[in-house]
Structure 1
Amino acid sequence: MPSDLSLEPTPAERRRLKVRGAIIDAAERVFASEGETGLSIRRLAEEIDYSPSAIYKYFGSKEALIDELKEAFFERLLARVDRISCADAPFAQRGRACVSTYIETAMERPHHYAAAFSGPLVTDHDTQTPPQKWEDFEKTYKGRAFNILVEMVREGQSLNVFDPALDPFLSAKSVWAASHGLAQLITHMPNVSALSPSNPPVPASTFIAFHADLVFRGLQRPALARQTHLTLED
């Protein structure tokens, strides 16, 4: 009989997690084929042969489901980068791996990645909604994953590897933006890494490693950046 301190989920909890996972997986499939406009509680009920009322027990509205779908991607990403950041490995290896993992996670489930960033396109920056409060952002999986990047920059600075003049938050945003850009390219243009006027095709994994190294070296102290270099042939 499990106690209150047991780490093992109860049968009821396992069933709840299984059903929740099935709903999120179905939402990803519908999003992939029909976009956000085609995603509805009734459409999901058809997809997984559940009643709409059963789905409403887990998600109170379509908006709540989409928010959960977005968070689920970052929950997966957080678990991976957290393992990397806590690993017993040299800082340079962990730092590059954090960058690579973001892109690799997007590649594994591109439609879920696309859903994670779905939302209205802002065309008038003067009338956009107020920015999310930092305290609220930190509580999300996305915010927690971002904070790992911030701590990575700070660790690099404390080790005298990264430029101490860099703002950790701006640096983490820049790393995120660069990785997001490559993830978008690869998920929308799978052969982008092989595009070249003369060189032989480059595997995606090699190009991602090159990108991660370039990002890492961009944060280094100038003297260190000149000493380290990774080519596509390494």
Structure 2
Amino acid sequence: MSDVSNSSRTTRKPKGEGHSRRGEILTAAERIFVEHGYEGATIRKIADEVGLSSTALYMHFPDKGAILQEICRDAFSRLIAANAAVADEDAPPVRRLRRMIDGYVDFGFAHPNAYRLIYLTRPVEAREGAQDMARELGGGLFTTLEATVADAVTAGDLKGDPSVLAQAIWATAHGVVSLMITKPYFPWADRQTLVDTMLDAMFAGLPRP
């Protein structure tokens, strides 16, 4: 799902293209939730953005809470699938771990609005869907990361409590992604160079036996 501009409002689609319309609603809602906050993102605004009446939008989603939940579910599902694919690779644990974090960072930059909604939503707004998805699906995502860290500890590549190490790794990656997508006005270095430097420093600094 990519960001859309105010000028990209679509016209009504003919009958039979409901799946495409549903995707357009989610894409538009991502941006509107980020720009206006959950309270300011009305059904009318979302409907207007995709060229629907409010009544027609309700045929796809019962309320805006359901829209937010669907956005979060889709985002977490993508991350979970990417993590699972890496976890199943026949590669040393530390290499798999780095690829997981690399994929997480890539997702954040490729889908900044979705990333903001699942990881940067204010607590009061997160109750409308993001919080439930974070507990249900985000927990599984972290479990896969933690299990890979545990594999690295068992293999003798890392030392320490896998849960603590996994939290430190996740927090470091999140810090870079969240800063770069919320502070675009800062004179950041080349993104890939910065990410590679962060990953090199993080993995070099992890405690080892």
TM-score range, shorter chain: 0.7 to 0.9
Q: Looking at CA atoms only, which structure, 1 or 2, has the larger radius of gyration?
A: 1
1:210 aligns to 2:197 (yes or no) = yes
Residue 3 of structure 2 is matched in structure 1 by none
SS at match of 2:156: coil
Structure-2 separation of matches of 1:52 and 1:102: 35
| Counterpart for residue 66 of structure 2 | 64
- Structure 1 stretches of 5 or more lacking a match? 1-13, 122-131, 195-202, 223-234
Q: Judging changes above 3 Å, is the alpha-carbon distance between structure 1 residues 54 and 143 closer, same or farther for their aligned structure 2 residues?
A: farther
Paired residue for 2:90?
Answer: 88
Q: Which residue of 1 aligns with 2:100?
A: 98
Using the aligned pairs only, state the percent identity.
30
2:139 and 2:90 map into 1 onto residues whose CA distance is 24
Tell me the equivalent position of 1:27. 29
C-alpha RMSD of matched pairs (Å): 2.8
2:144 partner amino acid:
I
Q: What CA deviation, in whole Å up to 9, does each residue of 1:193-219 have, x standing for no partner?
A: 42xxxxxxxx22122122223333343
Distance 1:216 1:15, change over 3 A: farther
CA contact (8 A) 1:193 1:204 kept: yes
Q: Which runs of 5+ in 2 are unaligned?
A: 1-15, 125-130
1:53 corresponding residue in structure 2: 55
1:189 aligned to which of 162, 183, 196 = 183
Shift of 1:40: 1.9
More helix by share: 2
1:44 CA drift (Å): 1.3
Query: Comparing both chains, which one has the higher relative contact order based on Cα–Cα distances under 8 Å and sequence gaps of 6 or more?
Result: 2
1:175 correspondence with 2:169 = yes
Aligned residues: 186
Matched, 1:120 2:116: no
8 Å CA contact retained: 1:161, 1:221: yes
